[in-house]
Amino acid sequence: MAEVSLKNVVKRYGALEVVHGIDLEIAHNEFVVLVGPSGCGKSTTLRMIAGLEDISDGEIAIGDKVVNMLPPRKRNISMVFQNYALYPHMSVRENLGFSLKIAKRAPEDITKAVDDAADILGLTELLERTPAELSGGQRQRVAMGRAIVRHPDVFLFDEPLSNLDAKLRTQMRVEIKKLHSKVKTTIVYVTHDQIEAMTLADRIVIMKDGHIVQIGTPLEVFERPVDTFVAGFIGSPPMNLIEGSVKDDHVVFSDGRSLPVPPDFTGKIANGRRVVFGFRADVLMPKGHTLAESGVLHDIDLTIDMAEPLGSESILLTTLGGQDIQARMHNPRPVTSGEVLTCELHLEKCHLFDADTTQSLRG
């Protein structure tokens, strides 16, 4: 059993504090993804769990053992690095078996463990090559193989796919997911790619500037972002966010147009309050090109600036309240620039945030 628990973990470099008191409980066998923009402290947090960075304050426990003072080798973790960090002077077999050799396991055990891992990851043909003779994706697999051979309590991944091209990234993403179902282990995975986070995670931890902004399942953070940052970060295309002020249960934008507040908020928001109205492209669709869905619909005429056809759907670029926003058109037809389309907005799927604090008003 290996839960990972972070209590008020702080990291300072000299006077500069880069991680500000993080609390996080990761369950046994859970796949947790730390996601956030560059420089938000994801790697630092992961490296503190690994023991590669000292903890300035707080407590980290793996299983029921506080590991603050333990060196990496005593934490029974393994880690896959962004640059793979394979040992260039060893063959793939030696790379995979290195940790077992250090642990002074019997040679025949090592051979067996390496063969098993190679089997799981499809590396059997490559065992006698050196890392220099492998492609990027193969190196990636060796790096994962090296992590799984010794059955650690926790796997740590630091942006393992960011050096791969888009196609290979998608393929490896699937393999990592499969791997997790095969070798049941707690996984902490760092990425700045929200799609990776959404597809892989049991729970997503969204970080910003050394703080945790929100923790939740992919659907939770997608459907109920706690603030405009999460709303803009998770989901593709990012959520449309338009600032305005409330008047009689309507949000009035700078261009004078308005939208009714979502049903949940009707009668609850004082007139004059500055808010941000948020909705995803998926809930704004031109009439006749919607997905058959019922709900509280609101019609709005929009002038289309441009359409980006994606095949089965098009992304429509338009403006509302002085903001560039996006809508989605199913079963698309060609749209000329400047054309006015009546669109349906699913009001009950819209969000309201406080304009000053950026926090969700959903409470």
Partner 1 sequence: MPSRTKDILIWITTFMIMLIICMPGLWIILSAFRTNGEILTKPAIWIPETLTLDNFRAIFGYGENVVGVPVASYFRNSIIISATSTFLAVFIGMTGGYAFARYRFPGKGSTFLWLMLSRTVPGIALSLPIFIIWSRMGIIDTKFGVILVYTAINVPFTIWLTEGFFRQVPQDLNEAAQIDGCTRWEAFWKIEFPLAKSGIASAGIFAFLTSWNEYALASQLTRSTDSKTLPVGLMDFTAQFTIDWAGMCAMAVIIIIPALILTFLVQKHLIAGLTFGGVKG
Q: Annotate each residue in 28-67 with x if it binds ligand ATP (CB under 6 A) or - if it does not, as one string.
A: --------x-xxxxxxx-----------------------
Sign of CA dihedral 208, 83, 171, 166: positive
Q: What percent helix, strand, coil does the chain show, rounded to 5?
A: 30, 35, 35
Backbone angles phi, psi at 48, to 5 degrees: -70, -40
Nearer Cβ to ligand ATP, position 14 or 267?
Answer: 14
d(CA 345, CA 23): 38
Residue 40 binds which entry of Mg ion, ligand ATP, partner 1, none, with Cβ cut-offs from 5 to 8 Å by kind? ligand ATP
Whether residue 193 contacts residue 236, with contact meaning beta carbons closer than 8 Å, is answered with no
Which C-beta is closer to ligand ATP: that of 40 or that of 120? Answer: 40
Nearer to Mg ion among residue 38 and residue 181 (C-beta): 38
Out of partner 1, ligand ATP, Mg ion, none, which partner does residue 52 contact, by CB within 5 to 8 A per kind? partner 1
Site residues for Mg ion, 14-53, by CB under 5 A, read 43
Residues 339-358 that bind ligand ATP (CB under 6 A): none
Residues 100-129 that bind partner 1 (CB under 8 A): 102-103
The CB density around residue 191, as the number of other CB atoms within 10 Å, is 24
- Lookup: tokens for 314: 């098009």
Lookup: tokens for 263: 């049903």
Q: Which does 39 bind (CB under 5 to 8 A by kind): ligand ATP, Mg ion, partner 1, none?
A: ligand ATP
225 binds partner 1 (CB under 8 A): no
- Residue 204 near residue 340 (C-beta atoms within 8 A): no
Site for ligand ATP contains 192 (CB under 6 A): yes
Place of tokens 């390496």: 114
CA distance 346 to 16: 45
Q: Is 314 in the site for Mg ion (CB under 5 A)?
A: no
Binding test (CB under 6 A) with ligand ATP, winner from 10, 18, 52, 252: 18
Binding piece for ligand ATP, criterion CB under 6 A, among 12-20, 173-181, 230-238, 290-298: 12-20
Which of 100/207 has CB closer to Mg ion? 207
Task: For residue 309, give the nearest of 292, 293, 323, 289 by alpha carbon.
Answer: 289
Q: Which residues are paired to 203 by β-bridges?
A: 32
Interface pick for partner 1 out of 8, 23, 89, 295 (rule CB under 8 A): 89
Please write down the HEC assignment for all residues of 33-52.
Answer: EEECCCCCCHHHHHHHHHCC
Q: Which stretch binds partner 1 (CB under 8 A): 26-34, 80-88, 176-184, 254-262?
A: 80-88
Q: Which is nearer to ligand ATP, 40 or 242 (CB)?
A: 40
What one-letter code names the amino acid at 88?
P
Of 260, 190, 212, 210, nearest to 33 by C-alpha is: 190
**Total residues interacting with partner 1, rule: CB under 8 A:** 32
CB of 142 to partner 1, least distance (A): 9
Q: Does 287 bind partner 1 (CB under 8 A)?
A: no
The amino acid occupying position 328 is R
Summarize as ranges the residues that interact with ligand ATP (CB under 6 A). 13, 16, 18, 36, 38-44, 192
